[in-house]
Each structure stands twice: as structure tokens, then as C-alpha cells.
Amino acid sequence: MNLSAVMKPRAIALIGASAREHTIGHDLFCRLTDYGYKGELYLVNPKGGEIGGRHVYKSVPELPQGIDLAIIAINAKFVLDTVDQCHEKGIQGLVVISAGFKETGPAGRELEAALAAKVREYGMTLVGPNCLGVVNTHPSVRMDGCFAESLPRRGDIGFVSQSGALGGGILNILKDLGIGFAQFISIGNQADVNAASAIAYWENEDDVRQILLYMESILQPQEFRRLATRTSRRKPILALKAGRSAAGASAASSHTGSLAGADRAADALLHQSGVIRERSLKDLFSSAKAFSLCPIPKGDRIAIVTNSGGPAIMATDAVEDYGMQMAKLSEETKEQLRSFLPPAASVKNPVDMIASAPLEHYRRTLETVLADPGVDMVLVIYLPFLGLKDTDVAQAVMDIRAKHPEKPIAGVFMTTQEFFTSLSGRDVTVPFYMYSEEGIAAFDRLNRQRKWLARPEGKIPSYETDRGAARALLDAARGESRDTLTTRESIALLDAYGIRTCRSKLARSEDEAAEFANQIGYPVVMKMTSKTTSHKTDVGGVRVGIRSEEDLRAQYRDLLAKLTERGLEKGLEGVLIQEMVSGKREMVCGLATDPQYGPMIMFGLGGVFVEVMKDVCFRLAPLTDQDAAEMIRSVKAWKLLEGARGLKPAQTGRIEETLLRISQLVADFPEISELDINPLIVSDRDGEPIAVDARVKLKA
């Protein structure tokens, strides 16, 4: 793939250029010329003639050589032939604006497949089809190949938008907010170029210092993960992934499956890749502004400088909501503030200079607070007060920012829209917001990037396992045309991969059951294992707390009677006699396969609470040790594992290992589609995690 041909073309052919106003072909022509494209622009239209005084070629074959990019805005049915002609002219890059492909149904889908195949065959690079175009604002390129309303503003953002029309809206709003960008790609139907390719291209583009993504679906998730994980350590990546609800739950029947759903997968993917996920365009833009104008902070200690208490309280609330810290100002700092602020002012953080604070107080307070080594970021709040001008305060803040570029500063100016409009025309060096929570949200994003950069990269460990035994178990099930393993098989599979399961033996008769129970030691659990009934509790197939042989024999007979009554006795393999693991903490872990994103590992609170509390965390497989460590710490039940309420602390390293071994299992055997360990009991005695029950499903 050669995105350079698309993004930095020496010459462009605009195919479908038009002289008729309010057409895409005209709009594109105007944008390219108005913005002052630095290369050669050639126009193509079968009608020929002139547009805006420029010659119009009647066909592609008439064009000269040396063209890098064709922007194609013609009826979809002519696109394939045109691509052939472009190829013959040596054109490498294509932007197909035309709609009428995948988005229109089966015929369009076929047309798009043919287009993609052609592009692959020719080794060309294609943006679109059904897209808005591409933009590069670099002074040496100045290509506005987009049919949006406004001309772009120069900045440091690389922007990928999947939706065409929305992309146009986004460009308008960015311009309006005074946010510039370096490059813009409307990927449309993503027949060739997608978000992952854009990230790959921008990884080494110095002109792009942050990457923004608007996506409705993430194609090539593993490729996306690989590239984004690497690139996000060099420049922030922010993403808005829409379609959270439309996704719908996966059809899987296990707990892990029903808790998953595509959005969980997208969330996990973005998280693991170091991509900051935004929930709204507004947040996306706010964050982008912060990354453009602020350095990454050294920590999360925030100081607030204000001339009004109310917005500072709201900002403090937001700091806590985001789990950041209010900076503790040093005695020295407070002393200094006291020396010039009036007695009614508060020199504790938030520093309230009171309503009458003059410009000079803003300057000195901000300088003083910035100098405190206990402060990592400073929010400056301004409310209009008798004659103190918003623009003057803003200028003062920017002046000080110039002297102290090492710490992020943001402004919350609760003033008129006019102020913000006036900013968009100026060279602004500090992000200004209207509301407290917006300013703190921006700091949160900077802080998240800081934490991502500080996070070790993590490794995918490799454990010794009995792969042959696992293979044999799966083959045996396949041999019987089953896609669900029995409890016994499931437990044996875990055993083969070194996961601690509770001691158990399969007994095929009452006497055998009694014998094994005596070996394992009372109390024991007796569990039916059957090839026809997977939900054991529904038929009363699990008996816990059996304390004696007498008790065991009675329970065994009762179970058999119940099964016979329902005609289910045929499938019975026998009963598992298990050690009774005593533990209040029932966790769940497992594997679900998302049809789009692939296998995901899950961990959380198990037992009867699993679906009710939904206190679970998902990550895409394969897991790194970092992923596993984060997973178990990201659920609320972590406090129980740490040893809340007098519980023995769990052996957390062992739990992490369990997750990593599951990850290895599915990497070795991709035919496993679902796996549930529920419960994974954390022993009250020594905190050991023990898999007590398991279910495994294979791909059909």
C-alpha cells in the first residue's frame, strides 16, 4: 500500500470534474483550486471544454504521464473501466468518491469486490469508494480533495472518518472551533485503505502529531491492534467508535459469550491498543485541542486558579470523578500567594482569588502555582467581573504559558461565545473551554496518555503445557460430532494447560463414587457429567457438602432417580467426585469469540452474580502479562481479591497465570469458540484460585 501517492501527489487527475454548480465534480474542482493545490491538476470529463479557464480532457487515455492520484467522482458503473485506464497511465493512487457500492446491496457489493480485486491486482492504493475525499494541509502539498463546505485550517491532526457526510460536518466544526489538521482521509466503504492503514502511514509522518478516528466498524482488528499499540506510544490516538447499541449481543450461549457483545470487544481492542476512546464528537474535539496545545504532564495533580468558587467546585468534582488528584500546594506557595492576594482569597487549592481579582493577580497566581513542584497541571477559571476583559485574561494566560511550556495549562472561561469565536481567528496556545468539566476532561485525556506511556509494553508468556492431551480431547469430541465438551473433558483440558482445577475423579457407579470420595476426603461435591445435559443445575445434578459415605450413597441414588424420571439417564457418563473447595469469592473467567473481533478473554465476579452485576472485564486474545494484571484489577471485585473484610488475599499472580494460560490455549486451538470457568473459586484457606466447573464449546 502506498498512501504517499494519495496524500502527497505531484499531480492529480479529477475525473468527473464538472462546470455545473452544486455538483460534487464542481465542488471538488473549486476546493482543489481555491485551496491552492501545489501540484498539477488535470480535469477529465467526456464533454471536454473548459472549467474555470482550464482545459478539460475528454478521457483518461488523453492525460499526460506523471500523475500520482486520480480523484474519481463519476457514476459507479464507469469506475472499473476508469481504474483500468488509470493503471495504464501509471497512476498509483485512487480516491473514489462515487457512491453505489457495498452500501446499496448485493449488486453494489459485487461491484466493490471487483474494484478491490482490481486495485490489489494492479498494486494501486484506493481510498473509498463512497467517501468524501482526502486533504493534506502541508504547505508543500495544499490538497483539499474533499467536497466539504469550508476550506481546511492547518494543524497537527491526522483525521480518519468512516462516514462521508459526517466527515464533512466534522471538517466544518473543526474549522469553527479553530482546530486545524494536517491530513484527513474519508475512508468510506474501506475497500482498501482503512483506519489501520492510515495509522501505519502516519506512524512516521512528523507532520501528524496526533491521530483522530471516527469509526463505525474496525476492520482488521489484529492489524489495528498491532499498529495502534506501537503508534500510540509515539503520538496520541483518539477514537470515536459509534454503533455501540446496534452491535447487539453475540449469539453465544455461555456466560462469557452473553456478557461480551461487539462493543465490549471494540472497547477492549481500543483499550489494549492505547487508543483513547471518546463517547461524543464534542469530547473528541475537546481532547484534540488539549493534545495540540499541551505537553504530556508528569503526573495527575491538578491545581485550580479561579475568581469564582462555583466553577472551581464543579472542577473539583470532575477531578475526583476522573480519579485524578487535587494538588496539595506547598506552604511556600501558599505563603507567596498570601503576600499579594486579599485576605478574603483562599490560598488552598482551588486558589480562589475572589471575584474582584485584577489581571495582575491572575498573572502572579498562575506563575506561583505553576512553580510549585507538587503541581502537574493548572486549570485557570475566569468569570466576567466588572471591567476585566476575557481576552486580556486569555492573553495573560498565554503569555505565562510561553514562559512555562512544561506543564499543561487550560482555561475555563465562562463568557460569551464571542470570545471563543474571536479565538478561532488567532494563534491560540492554550486550550480554552466554556465549562469546568470540559477543562478537567481534557486533563484526564492528557493523564491517560501519560499513564499509557508509563505502562510497560508487556509480553505474551509461553507456558509448558500438554498440548497432545488437549489435542486428543478435542479430537475425541469431534469424533463424536459434538461441539460441546463434557464437564470431565473440559476440566481435563484445563488440566492439560496447567490450570489448577479442583481434584476430582469420574465415578461410573455408586461404589466407585464412594471409593473416590474416600480417597479425596470429605466433604466432597458430586456432579453429574453428561453428554446430553449441559446445564447441570437445571436437573439437580450438583450436590455439595456431602459429609459422609452414607450421605453420598443416598445422594447418588436420588440423582439417578431424578434423571430416570426425566428420561435423561442415557447420556450420563457418571458422576464427578470433587474436592469441596471452600471460598466465598466465586470468580468467573473464560473465553468468548466475537464474530468480528475474534477471541476475547474475560474475568470477573462469578457465581449467581455474573449476569446480574456484570462486574467483568474483557480483553482481546492474545493477552500480555500486562493485560492480565490490568484485567483482574479493573473489576470492582478486585477489593475482595486484595483481601477486603478479613478475607485471605488471593494469589493474584496465579489468577493472572490462569488467564494467560487460557489465552495460550485458544492461540494453540483456534477451534475453541467458548470457554467458561464458573466458578473459579478463590480458596478461603490460602487464596489459591481453583477452577471448579468448566464448559468448553468448539466452533461448529
- Binders of its own copies among residues 635 to 664 (CB under 8 A) are 636-637, 639-640, 644-647
Residues 567-596 that bind its own copies (CB under 8 A): 584-585
578 forms bridges with which residues in the sheet?
A: 504, 525
Tell me if 243 contacts its own copies by CB under 8 A.
Answer: yes
Shortest approach of its own copies to residue 438 CB, angstroms? 8
Provide the grid cell at 618.
Answer: 474483557
**Window contacting its own copies (CB under 8 A); options: 20-28, 50-58, 265-273, 292-300:** 20-28
Nearer to its own copies, 178 or 599 (CB): 178
First-to-last C-alpha distance (Å) of the chain: 35
Tell me if 180 contacts its own copies by CB under 8 A.
Answer: no
CA angle 535, 536, 541 (to 5 degrees): 165
Nearer to its own copies, 216 or 466 (CB): 216
**Window contacting its own copies (CB under 8 A); options: 21-29, 116-124, 477-485, 526-534:** 21-29
* Strand 572-579 versus strand 542-546 pairing type: unpaired
Provide the grid cell at 55.
Answer: 482545459
The one among 112, 372, 376, 437 contacting its own copies by CB under 8 A: 437
Residues 141-170 that bind its own copies (CB under 8 A): 147-150, 162-166, 168-170
Nearer to its own copies, 386 or 454 (CB): 386
Distance CA 531, CA 540 (A): 16
Residues 344-363 that bind its own copies (CB under 8 A): 344, 355
Distance CA 259, CA 527 (A): 26
Shortest approach of its own copies to residue 676 CB, angstroms? 14
Tell me if 19 contacts its own copies by CB under 8 A.
Answer: no
The one among 560, 613, 667, 698 contacting its own copies by CB under 8 A: 613
The residue written with cell numbers 482526502 in the block is 134
Residues 516-555 that bind its own copies (CB under 8 A): 537-538
The residue written with cell numbers 469441596 in the block is 580
Sheet holding 504-507, edge to edge: 504-507, 572-579, 524-530, 542-546
Shortest approach of its own copies to residue 449 CB, angstroms? 23
> What single-letter amino acid sits at 224?
F
Provide the grid cell at 654.
Answer: 496465579
Residues 264-323 that bind its own copies (CB under 8 A): 279-282, 307-311, 313-314, 316-317, 319-321
698 forms bridges with which residues in the sheet?
A: 672
Distance CA 274, CA 291 (A): 15
Nearer to its own copies, 48 or 358 (CB): 358
Tell me if 372 contacts its own copies by CB under 8 A.
Answer: no
Shortest approach of its own copies to residue 98 CB, angstroms? 13
Nearer to its own copies, 104 or 534 (CB): 104
C-alpha torsion sign, points 80, 84, 85, 87 = positive
Tell me if 22 contacts its own copies by CB under 8 A.
Answer: yes
**Window contacting its own copies (CB under 8 A); options: 151-159, 244-252, 595-603, 649-657:** 244-252
Nearer to its own copies, 470 or 610 (CB): 610
Identify the CA nearest to 18 among candidates 97, 85, 90, 91. Answer: 97
Size of the site for its own copies (CB under 8 A): 86
**Window contacting its own copies (CB under 8 A); options: 268-276, 417-425, 593-601, 617-625:** 417-425
Tell me if 667 contacts its own copies by CB under 8 A.
Answer: no
Contacts of 190 (CB under 8 A, 6+ apart): 162, 219
Identify the CA nearest to 144 among candidates 201, 99, 91, 182. Answer: 182
Reduced to 3 states (helix: H, G, I; strand: E, B; else coil), residue 134 is strand
Tell me if 176 contacts its own copies by CB under 8 A.
Answer: yes
The residue written with cell numbers 465562562 in the block is 414
Nearer to its own copies, 594 or 615 (CB): 615
Nearer to its own copies, 340 or 385 (CB): 385
Provide the grid cell at 253.
Answer: 450461549
Count Cβ atoms below 10 Å from residue 201 Cβ, excluding itself.
22
Residues 375-394 that bind its own copies (CB under 8 A): 383-387
409 forms bridges with which residues in the sheet?
A: 378
DSSP-derived letter for residue 346 is: B
Nearer to its own copies, 93 or 583 (CB): 583
Nearer to its own copies, 435 or 669 (CB): 435
DSSP-derived letter for residue 650 is: P
Shortest approach of its own copies to residue 321 CB, angstroms? 8
